[in-house]
């Protein structure tokens, strides 16, 4: 368990714009990179990802950082600040339904040819790619126990000055008078936990573009935890300012750079709005969480109009798999061009 007292006074108010905050942090990142290059001869490209083994069997494609700082931007200060799964007081059966959605999403990923390719093949001396399915579910809008972070200060700034419109399915700039908040986290360099049990994980590079474009990391919070109360995270409150908001919004082309077209999103949206799920996802959920009586759970699901059926299938069709396979073959060289090895980890 990490020490939660990194910052003795984690909250401060800033007269700077969020663009200025991100700029200063970005400048500091560049100076640290120059220091590593001049003193250790290590040059890491911000456009590259580096394979780092998490155990004997798998690796994660980490963004290029050595002295790591992570950032999170929110357009509004929420207290408590909790992950999406715990923002509402869901009943036990309500939590089970969200777990069902996650199980369906995992089943969906198993039919994605590019992900299957990397999950079952090896990169030269490396092992197979670690697929962080929970973090991917978070990135496609499912309710999880994860909080998003990024290693890019300006990406955090984008999320600090925008809000997602569920109708248009786009991020929109906001010009409200309330405070936004910018979080900074410096992870511990030493974590004895096995990688798959660590609360902080790099999402990394995948053949689906979104996590890599966002230089994504995720932090797991437990049910009654609040991000604001963990002193590992420095909080900077700032005032929204229209000119700054539009400047950051334009840098990322309204979010198009961070959210490139992805056929997984339509499938994820269908799972998020579904009221019927497969028997496979039901038994997968029940097996993983082990606290649900099968017969009673099915009865409780029926009471809230949730059905379990063998006829439900959110997976990619043969035609969709064929299209994704062709797209992966065209993209494969570009994907591997983003990967670079280094002599020490």
Digit-coded pLDDT (tens) for 129-158: 889 999 999 999 999 999 999 999 999 999
Calculate mean pLDDT across residues 223-242: 93
- Tell whether the model's pLDDT for residue 4 goes beyond 60: no
Contact 338, 48 (CB under 8 A): yes
Helical H segments across 18-161, by residue range: 18-40, 92-109, 113-119, 133-139, 153-160
Distances in whole angstroms, Cα of residue 321 to Cα of each of 109, 128, 263, 316: 11, 21, 11, 6
Name beta bridge partners: 238. Answer: 180
> Averaged over 262-276, what is the pLDDT?
95
Lowest mean pLDDT across 51-60, 213-222, 239-248: 51-60
pLDDT-derived band at 57, boundaries 50, 70, 90: confident
Q: Report pLDDT for 190.
A: 66
pLDDT above 60 for 281: yes
Tell me what pLDDT residue 45 has. 76
Confidence check: pLDDT of 125 > 60? no
Domain ranges of the chain: 1-83+145-262, 98-125+263-337
Give whole-number Cα distances, 122 to 125, 127, 165, 212, 332, in Å.
Answer: 7, 5, 40, 20, 14
Average pLDDT, whole number, for the chain? 88
pLDDT at residue 11 in the model: 66
Model pTM score? 0.91
- Phi, psi (rounded to 5 degrees) for 8: -70, -30
Q: Would you state the pLDDT for residue 196?
A: 81
Say which residues have a Cβ less than 8 Å from residue 60's Cβ, sequence separation at least 6. 51, 52, 54, 129, 130, 132, 195, 201, 202, 204
């Amino acid at each position: 368990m990490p020490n939660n007292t990194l910052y003795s006074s984690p909250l401060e108010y800033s007269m700077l714009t969020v663009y200025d905050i991100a700029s200063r942090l970005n400048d500091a990142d560049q100076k640290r990179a120059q220091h590593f290059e001049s003193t250790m001869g290590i040059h890491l490209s911000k456009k590259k990802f580096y394979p780092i083994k998490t155990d004997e069997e798998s690796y994660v494609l980490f963004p290029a950082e050595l002295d790591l700082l992570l950032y999170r931007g929110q357009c509004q200060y929420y207290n408590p600040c909790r992950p999406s799964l715990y923002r509402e007081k869901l009943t036990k059966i309500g939590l089970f339904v969200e777990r069902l959605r996650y199980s369906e999403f995992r089943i969906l990923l198993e039919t994605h040819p590019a992900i299957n390719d990397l999950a079952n093949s090896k990169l030269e001396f490396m092992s197979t790619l670690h697929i962080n399915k929970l973090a991917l579910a978070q990135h496609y809008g499912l309710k999880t126990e994860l909080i998003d972070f990024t290693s890019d200060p300006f990406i955090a700034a984008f999320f600090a000055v925008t809000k997602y419109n569920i109708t248009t399915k786009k991020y929109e700039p906001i010009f409200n008078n309330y405070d936004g908040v910018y979080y900074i986290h410096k992870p511990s360099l030493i974590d004895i936990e096995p990688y798959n049990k660590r609360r902080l994980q790099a999402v990394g590079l995948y053949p689906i573009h979104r996590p890599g474009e966002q230089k994504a990391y995720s932090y797991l919070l437990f049910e009654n935890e609040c991000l604001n109360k963990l002193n590992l995270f420095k909080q900077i409150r700032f005032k929204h300012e229209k000119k700054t908001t539009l400047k950051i919004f334009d840098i990322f082309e309204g979010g198009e750079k961070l959210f490139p077209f992805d056929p997984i999103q339509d499938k994820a949206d269908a799972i998020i709005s579904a009221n019927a799920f497969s028997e496979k996802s039901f038994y997968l959920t029940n097996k993983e969480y082990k606290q649900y009586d099968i017969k009673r759970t099915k009865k409780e699901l029926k009471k809230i109009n949730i059905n379990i059926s063998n006829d439900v299938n959110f997976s990619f069709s043969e035609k969709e798999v064929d299209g994704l396979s062709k797209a992966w073959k065209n993209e494969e060289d570009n994907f591997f061009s983003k990967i670079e090895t280094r002599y020490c980890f």
